[in-house]
Amino acid sequence: MIERSLQALRQALAAREISSVELTQLYLDRIARHDPQLNAFITVDQTRSLAQARAADEQLARGEAGPLTGIPIAHKDIFCTRGWLTTCGSKILGNFVSPYDAAVIARFAAAGAVLIGKTNMDEFAMGSSNETSFYGPVKNPWDASCVPGGSSGGSAAAVAARLAPAATGTDTGGSIRQPAALCNLTGMKPTYGVVSRYGMIAFASSLDQAGPLARSAADCALLLNTMAGFDERDSTSLDRPLEDYSRELNVPPGDKPLAGLRIGLPDEFFGEGCSPEVMRLVEAAIADYRQLGAETVAISLPSTHLSVAAYYVIAPAEASSNLARFDGVRYGYRAPQYQDLNDLYSKTRAQGFGAEVKRRILIGTYVLSHGYYDAYYLQAQRIRRLIADDFAKAFRQCDVIVGPTSPSTAFKLGEKAADPVQMYLSDIYTIAVNLAGLPAISIPCGFAGGLPAGLQLIGDYFTETRLLNVAHRYQQTSSWHLQQPGGFA
Ligand code: GLN
């Protein structure tokens, strides 16, 4: 069962080959057996998950199944979930039981999915290694001495070790795609505004976007069908006609399924900065794409080298404002002893936030302050425009932009923890995509030294269906995405 695609699980449930209660119990047992080594989950609640599974079985019996009825899905602990602890990886929300559901949670519930657990993550989604979580680091199932990537590292480790058939993540600068690459998964960040941010705890609101983490592009398409859609409670949600993101996948492949597709290869992604082993795998994947009928064109994204710097002004600026709400007054952690209101605020925040979150609040407050705003924040916004313009120009020459997802395979736990700039450079290929608001997907493209590497495909706005199809065609003729880590029987 644990090898089956979401589509196959759906069929097995419909045919009564297995019940949702049995399937859910199977995954709960796997979590109990393997999660102590991985630390991928913050909250698992057998009783609630099984109650949802029983309700799903009743729905199936009545013939009222939705697209995901009875299928267990893990959710990143950034999504407010009614009646469940929702920590965002932080001590400051360590006692927060959400009174309401995020839009993403509600949509999965409406589609009949069973919530199998809330996954570990970097604190407030700030990180690339899952080491900033108050609940401890997550281990990479491919090598427990390595990080799974971040910030959606718990979701990625859970799916890679087959502790859940699929999961959700969020991506502000790479947090779906980079852990997907480091754990041999397929992960997609949709166009900004496609998935509602309502109830998704905000880090950098103009960059944050939720998306699927799964074992294949076909599974991601099914998940995105459930996640996407207009929501008037999110002022940046886009009111567009609903799409079936799977619609191109079932067209028979033929000999050259990608004939006519123009793949853009940006000079800036193929220079220095990427490890030679990862680059070899990326180049081999590009050769495979030529076999599938695609042609390649050289393009340039000249402002790429500015993207990390601009991001680390804009994201902290927005975070410093978003995180002002955690003050110990209405919900969450409150310092046990304080003198007056100011002391309550400062002790609560000093004790409740970890070091990386504090660093970002300080940077953000600084770049927004009088006298520095023009020099930093305004400049960064201008760079953001240049980056978006680079992509707009590139998409006149090509349909999809391809390169590495991450400059290296999974690094060792602790290796970059002391050096924030090294950590920030993990997202050198992913961050520009968030600054421009574009969709992108990471797919497995091979192994170096036993660790997986990811290929990133970036599309123009609202081309999720095509991106998923381009990823799917590669997965029809390659088997990298089917490889799984040993030791999780
Ligand atoms: N690693 C980046 C950061 O630390 C991106 C995180 C994310 O996408 N949530 O901000």
412 is catalytic: no
Q: What is the pLDDT of residue 189?
A: 98
Q: What is the pLDDT of residues 426-440, one digit of tens each?
A: 999 999 999 999 999
Q: What is the pLDDT of residue 167?
A: 98
Would the pLDDT of 251 be above 90? no
Q: What is the pLDDT of residues 387-396, one digit of tens each?
A: 999 999 999 9
Domain of 314 in residue numbering reads as 305-382
300 is catalytic: no
Asked if residues 126 and 132 have their Cβ atoms less than 8 Å apart, the reply is yes
pLDDT classification of 271: cutoffs 50, 70, 90? confident
In a domain? residue 128: no
89 lines ligand 1 (CB under 6 A): no
151 lines ligand 1 (CB under 6 A): yes
Instruction: Compute the distance between CA of residue 268 and CA of residue 389 in angstroms, rounded to an integer.
Output: 15
Asked if residues 117 and 31 have their Cβ atoms less than 8 Å apart, the reply is yes
Q: What is the pLDDT of residue 480?
A: 98
103 lines ligand 1 (CB under 6 A): no
76 is catalytic: yes
370, two tokens: 């009088």
- Mean pLDDT for the chain? 97
Would the pLDDT of 172 be above 90? yes
- Tell me the pairing of strands 114-119 and 41-43: antiparallel
- Residue in the structure block whose two tokens are 């000999």: 255
Per annotation, catalytic residue among 151, 155, 216, 320: 151
Asked if residues 130 and 38 have their Cβ atoms less than 8 Å apart, the reply is no
With pLDDT > 70 as the criterion, what percentage of the chain qualifies? 100
Per annotation, catalytic residue among 49, 152, 175, 216: 175
Q: What is the pLDDT of residues 50-63, one digit of tens each?
A: 999 999 999 999 99
In a domain? residue 345: yes
Q: What is the pLDDT of residues 474-485, one digit of tens each?
A: 999 999 999 999
In a domain? residue 212: no
pLDDT classification of 49: cutoffs 50, 70, 90? very high
In a domain? residue 359: yes
In a domain? residue 371: yes
Would the pLDDT of 410 be above 80? yes
229, two tokens: 């859609």
Q: What is the pLDDT of residues 90-147, one digit of tens each?
A: 999 999 999 999 999 999 999 999 999 999 999 999 999 999 999 999 999 999 999 9
Q: What is the mean pLDDT of residues 268-288?
A: 95
Q: What is the mean pLDDT of residues 374-397?
A: 97
With pLDDT > 90 as the criterion, what percentage of the chain qualifies? 96
In a domain? residue 364: yes
Give 342 Cα–ligand 1 centroid separation in angstroms. Answer: 30
In a domain? residue 337: yes
Q: What is the pLDDT of residue 130?
A: 97
Q: What is the pLDDT of residues 9-26, one digit of tens each?
A: 999 999 999 999 999 999
Q: What are the respective helix, strand and coil percentages of the chain, to the nearest 5? A: 40, 15, 45
Instruction: Compute the distance between CA of residue 469 and CA of residue 398 in angstroms, rounded to an integer.
Output: 16
In a domain? residue 338: yes
Q: What is the mean pLDDT of residues 166-175?
A: 98
> Considering its fold, how many domains does the chain have in total?
1
Would the pLDDT of 253 be above 80? no
From 170, 175, 177, give the residue whose CB has the most ligand 1 atoms within 8 Å, as the site to mutate: 175
Looking at residue 424, its amino acid is: Y
Instruction: Compute the distance between CA of residue 185 and CA of residue 193 in angstroms, rounded to an integer.
Output: 24
